[in-house]
Amino acid sequence: MRAVLCALLVAVLTTIAFQPAFDGQWLHWDDDKNFVEFETWRGLSLEHVKWMFTTFHQGPYQPLSWLTLGIDHALWGMDPRGYHVTNVLIHAAAGAAFFACARALFGQVRPLAQSRPWMIDAAALVAALAFAAHPLRTESVAWVTERRDVLSGLFFALCLWMYLRFTASTGRARTRRLVWALVFYVASLLSKGLGFPLPLALLVLDTLVLGRWNGTLSGAASAAGVSFVALAREKIPFLIPAVLAAVVAWIGQRTHTTVMLTLDSYPFDSRLVQSCYSLFFYAWKTLWPADLIPLVPLPHPLVAGEPRFVIAVVAVLATAALAWIVRRRAPAVGAALLAYAILLAPVSGLTQTGPQLVADRYSYLPCMPLALLFGGALLFAARAQRTWLFAAGLALTLVLVPLSRAQARVWRDDVSLWTKTCAVRPDDAPAFRNLMLAYMRPAEARMDTDPAGAISLFEAGLEVGARCLAAGPDAGTLANLSSIHNSLATIQPEREREHLESALGFARRAVQRSFEEKKHTPAAFKNHAWTAVRLNLPKEAVSSYAWLADAAPDDPGALLSLAQVMVMAERPRDALAVLEVGIPLAPDAPRMWALKGEAHRALDENADAIAAYERAIRCAAALPAEQAENPEEVQNWRALAEALKQK
């Protein structure tokens, strides 16, 4: 009964720690790509379930996570609060399962197993809270995209719990518990595949902690120990899904647009330095969870002599040496650190994907061994009559709850998330750009209904952009500044010219910066072209519209825009050449034919102009009601055709 109450207490305190996430919104940080703008996952039909079990959307293979999200959609629709509640509750359940895991472990490890039962329960409670209520878990819990973390973590903890019960049992119960451990492990891998190193971690647990090996490495082998070969053979049922999950994860990353970095672009020595930094970073943030942000960018190139990397390498080597020195007196220390390194390996940088150096969410599974080590150390201290240490550890663990509540508020919306990031990294131009966008999106939505509110938000975005200018803005930031001034020109007509000139200045700089960065940001060219047209500078707009058309040669809209600005720039013959490419892509588009008529009319080719206008009118008449052209424009085409016939 006491154990059940402790597990419930862990779940309740974990829920309290992350309760601010209940009011969280969809974030324009993958939530938009995964859920808001993408609809395929919304449903529980056979077709939906088939898609969930066959897709690599955005890279990961996570069918069970998609299934829970589909259930959420059936319950909540697109209200993000329901999804956040589910995330928190799943994580709270993972905390309770981790308590059961810690309790089972402490009950089997000598001399901890000789402690009083209430002390074992208390130590397991501390270990579970050190894992579940820690601010490092916030990214996984308060971000709907990372449903895969909390769901895989729940099944992972249940797998460890069942495995520990398996090692302590005999007969039919032993086989049944091994099967359940395997089922939970497969479920974890189907939620997110990063738990595939578990078989190696289980060998570490067997040999260095549980004393199941009859060798001498642990210094605590039991008389009933078995051979290492037998222990390895016992892991084969786990090894098969682990290998499959690793292969599937590799395929998913290769099929996603953010492919793994090659050794040519990111050499092995840099990966080793990054791995050491990862080992240091998550352990340090576990001890000092300050300045947690969604992304620490991977530097290009990675300079190994940079102080943060030197400190990390020295700390990792010193810790490894210390663990080796105390391997016989305290084998659990080396075991926990080794298991931590094993579970972290897939996301440590050895196989680098994406732009991040480190990310808080990667700590979810690897920090479980550290939490077990913390709880076990406190239990050992309590057995040695150092109860004040135990009390201090419990107090420190409870302090995690308000810290996690504060961090959960950071992840509530785009503005709070990127405001915190910019405060921690004032030289991070992409973070400033994201904060500008966080102000721009609601401002654009309120331009018609609440002009004053929109202006206030746009001005906040301009202030962010001004701060970013000092840090050396990238093309995206400059393009955003141009967009803000373009929007302000619309809702502040008395200052239209002033805003448009500012917009053009930023757009020109954005285009130049885009070429310098060799990234060719489309928004830079779109802003430059559109602003030049608004300022009646069509000749300047041609170059950017031409770039956009070259970047999307199969997009009839891009070709139409280029042809339009060429007509405005008194280049009708060039416009006709563009339309010869664009019309076959959209042969029933009225505007294509109307523009062809404009170009022929400018060249005094009246017969061709009349034929083009009449074709535009017929195409407009054939459109469904929801796609109908402006009647005034269609009437204007008809009038132009009639006027040409009378010449």
Give the domain ranges of the chain. Answer: 2-410, 426-536, 554-647
Using an 8 Å Cβ cutoff, are 338 and 373 in contact? no
Task: Supply the pLDDT for residue 165.
Answer: 94
CA 16 to CA 398: how far, in whole Å? 11
In 59-170, which ranges are continuous DSSP H helix?
Answer: 63-76, 80-106, 117-132, 138-141, 147-167
Q: Is the pLDDT of residue 562 over 50?
A: yes
Query: Which residues touch 476 (CB under 8 Å, ≥6 apart)?
Result: 430, 433, 510, 521, 523, 524
Segment 403-425 shows an average pLDDT of 95
> d(Cα 61, Cα 67) in Å, to the nearest integer?
12
Residue 2 burial class via C-beta count within 10 angstroms: exposed 0-12, middle 13-18, buried 19 and up? exposed
Q: Please determine, for residue 614, whether its predicted confidence score (pLDDT) is greater than 60.
A: yes
pLDDT tier at 69, thresholds 50, 70, 90: very high
Give the integer Cα–Cα distance in Å for 463 and 306: 32
SS3 229: helix
pLDDT of 260 higher than 80: no
The pLDDT assigned to 253 comes to 76
pLDDT tens-digit profile of 308-332? 999 999 999 999 999 999 988 889 9
Q: Is pLDDT at 219 greater than 70 in this prediction?
A: no
| C-alpha neighbours within 13 Å on the C-beta side of residue 299 | 13
Phi, psi (rounded to 5 degrees) for 353: -130, 140
pLDDT band at 223 (very low <50, low <70, confident <90, very high): very low
Indicate if the pLDDT at residue 217 is higher than 50: no
Give the pLDDT mean for 141-146: 97
pLDDT at position 265 is 72
Cis peptide before 267 (omega within 30 of 0): no
Binning pLDDT at 50, 70 and 90, where does residue 625 land? Answer: confident
604 sits in the region (left: phi over 0; alpha: psi -120 to 50; else beta) called left
pLDDT the model gives residue 475 = 87
426-536 and 554-647, same CATH topology: yes
639: which 2 tokens? 């009038």
Q: Which residues pair with 260 in a beta bridge?
A: 353
- pLDDT of 491 > 80? The answer is yes
Lowest mean pLDDT among 144-148, 150-154, 466-470, 593-597: 466-470
Write out pLDDT tens, residues 463-474.
998 888 776 678
Question: How would you label 472-488 residue by residue, b for 16+ Cβ within 10 Å and e otherwise?
Answer: ebbbbbbbbbbbbbbbb
413 Cβ neighbours under 8 A, 6+ residues apart: 24, 25, 27, 438
pLDDT band of residue 419 (cuts 50, 70, 90) is very high
DSSP H or E run through 525? helix 522-534
pLDDT confidence band for 572 (50 / 70 / 90) = very high
Q: What is this structure's pTM?
A: 0.88
C-beta separation of 494 from 451 below 8 A: no
| Domain 554-647, CATH | 1.25.40.10
Task: For the chain, give the mean pLDDT.
Answer: 90
Query: Is the pLDDT at 225 greater than 70, yes or no?
Result: no
Instruction: Give the list of residues 6+ apart from residue 639 with CB closer than 8 angstroms, or none.
Output: none
Task: Given CATH 1.10.390, say whether it is the number of domain 426-536.
Answer: no
pLDDT reading at 543 higher than 50: yes
